[in-house]
Amino acid sequence: MSLPSALARGSSCSFARVLASRASSLGCYRSVSSFFEPGAPASARHSGPESGSDSGGKKEDEEQGKPRRSRFPSKVLRPESPVHWNLSDTMKKSDSIPVFSTVSNPDDASSATTKPLSMWPGMYHSPVTAALWNARSTILERAWLAPSDGPPQTTIMTKTPEESRTSILYALSTDKILREQYRNPWQGVRIGKLLEDLDALAGTIAVKHCADVDHTTRPLLLVTASVDKISLLKPLLLDEDLRIGGAVAWVGRSSMEIRMEVIQPVTEEEATEDDIALIANFTFVARDSVTKKAAQVNRLQPESVAEKKLFQEGEGRDERRKARMKDLSEGMRVGKVPYDAQKMQALLREGRVLIEMPTLADRNSILIRDTRLENAIVCQPQQRNMHGRIFGGFLMRRAYELSYTTCYVFCGTKPVFLEVDHVDFRRPVDVGDLLRFKACVLYTETDQNGDPLIHIEVVAHVIQPEVQSSEVSNTFYFTFTIDREQRKDGAPPILKVVPSAEEEARVVLSRFDADHPVCQLNCATQETREIGSHPKVCVSLQRVTE
């Protein structure tokens, strides 16, 4: 609200308080009186002969026998002193309100050198992300300080997970400003901002693992390749401290997997399984900063039993990922995608009824295309990372927020986040790119407790209108549910979502198979059972198509 509108609306606060509030919102923690000349009396600060002072005006009115009238109602403006305020007097050109930057200068004040602008990270990020990037800036600055023809890293070291382990404490219980930055409208923690911080922390851990001791070589370029799973195991509380931490869990030749955990509550003792509120697996790949070719990373030597188990799990995920890519490429080479034609036709059958005979279709079904929401942005310089490209955590937050609103509109009630099923980073996004996010509900199901599961897909396209080009940069898959208490209060039923085109059916089948990799189905009895610790129950495709 502008200052004139605040006064015109008859606010009960004084002008001094409005001005102080405006100054505080701009990051200016100076008192209102400091905007005027120091040492001057109050009457001189609020009036002057050149602007029609109150004292002069009062004397003229008394001479004419007329009572003095304030410019504003006395009930609206009651400053500390009995002097009436004049907006034109207080907002003179010489009394401009100073504005200060909310971030510190990335340059070292004691240094005579100045970093190029490309080495500055974006200016919008959370305080946690800013602190993480500052922590690894000394390593990344080698790209600026080292000669352009510097040799690549050739010394391959062996490191332990403990050497890369890093954590950050959120003092939410005592830091009111930090708590306000992470508060959502329902007094919970903003998951989207937490996803940003997780990506930034995973990048810092990757940098620590790949760093060598030779400062003459050019550092590796590390990019987020995918996020395999981010599972929320219990609700996060806004008034309790939480800690995010992680370490390298598995390493291949040019890729590595980072295991991340969010701990709440935070105690002095070692965290137990009950304290883990969220787990995540980030995959990073290393590239030569000049040739952009795959580069070998340092080896990993797990020591404890838990570290060896995580290493084996990461190796298994990598093997399954390679096998899945091989099957897909083989199917595309021979012109046949490895999907069951019978299942696809079953999925499309009901969709055709909804299109051709909507009055006769199932009232509890809806087409995928009717659940779509989308938005578009132009990527700004403030959203870049330390490599000058758009921060992957920012893309993940925008995709999460769109998936949340898509699920909100679909369910008719506030959804509850469960997990990020998978994220693919297919191409980098540059500053100035036109980015378009498209979200839809892929399919719904019911878990073993009878709770609904809503699976959302978000696809990000980089659009170049000048050359009539559109490319997929990222795909995101999220899972939400509905709180049981809200369902008791009469929330609308969850509709069954069906595809209307073969491409949509392929995506549904692909995601269903990826979401249920450990289930075994007894077709004779239609019984399902789950192997592993995933909270979702494995169901047959008959539930999707029936």
> Are the C-beta atoms of residues 473 and 497 closer than 8 Å to each other?
no
Q: What is the pLDDT of residues 476-494, one digit of tens each?
A: 999 999 987 777 666 778 9
Q: Using pLDDT thresholds of 50, 70 and 90, give the confidence band for residue 13.
A: very low
| Residue 145, SS3 per DSSP | helix
Contact 440, 371 (CB under 8 A): yes
pLDDT, tens only, 238-296: 999 999 999 999 999 999 999 999 999 998 888 888 999 999 999 999 988 788 889 99
C-alpha to C-alpha distance for 198 and 244, rounded to whole angstroms: 7
Q: What is the pLDDT of residue 450?
A: 82
Answer whether 242's CB lies under 8 Å from 236's CB: yes
The dotted CATH code for 340-527 is 3.10.129.10
Quote the pLDDT of residue 153. Answer: 78
- Res 133: pLDDT: 59
Q: ∠ CA(67), CA(73), CA(76), 5° rounding?
A: 145
Q: Give the mean pLDDT of 57-69.
A: 48
Sign of CA dihedral 315, 317, 321, 326: positive
Does residue 143 register a pLDDT over 90? no
Query: For the whole model, what pTM was predicted?
Result: 0.72
So what's the pLDDT on residue 244? 93
pLDDT tens profile 337-361: 555 677 888 888 888 889 999 888 8
Say what the pLDDT of residue 30 is. Answer: 38
Q: How confident is the model at residue 131 (pLDDT cuts 50, 70, 90)?
A: low
Q: In the structure encoding, which two tokens stand for residue 531, read together? A: 């192997």
Q: For 236, which DSSP code?
A: P
State the CATH architecture for 74-104+123-335: Roll (3.10)
Other residues' Cβ atoms within 10 Å of the Cβ of residue 279: 16
Q: What is the pLDDT of residues 391-441, one digit of tens each?
A: 888 999 999 999 999 999 999 999 999 999 889 898 889 989 999 999 999
Residue 363 has a pLDDT of: 86
In this prediction, residues 493-515 reach a mean pLDDT of 89
Contact call for residues 519 and 529 (beta carbons, < 8 A): yes
Distance CA 527, CA 525 (A): 5
Parse the chain into domains and list their residue ranges: 74-104+123-335, 340-527
* Mean pLDDT, residues 440-451: 89
Alpha carbon 422 to chain centroid distance?
Answer: 15
Distance, CA of 209 to CA of 385 (rounded, Å): 19
- Give the pLDDT confidence of 98-112 residue by residue, as tens digits: 655 555 555 544 444
Classified as helix, coil or strand, 280 is strand
User: 55 or 276: whose pLDDT is higher?
Assistant: 276
Q: Do domains 74-104+123-335 and 340-527 have the same CATH topology?
A: yes
Between strands 255-263 and 242-251, the pairing is antiparallel
Q: Which two tokens stand for residue 27?
A: 């990051």
pLDDT top residue among 193 and 519: 193
Residue-level pLDDT at 151: 79
Nearest to 215 by CA among 116, 303, 141: 141
Maximum mean pLDDT: which of 40-44, 123-127, 531-535: 123-127
Amino acid 114: pLDDT: 53
- What pLDDT is recorded for position 3? 40
Pairing of strands 415-425, 434-446: unpaired
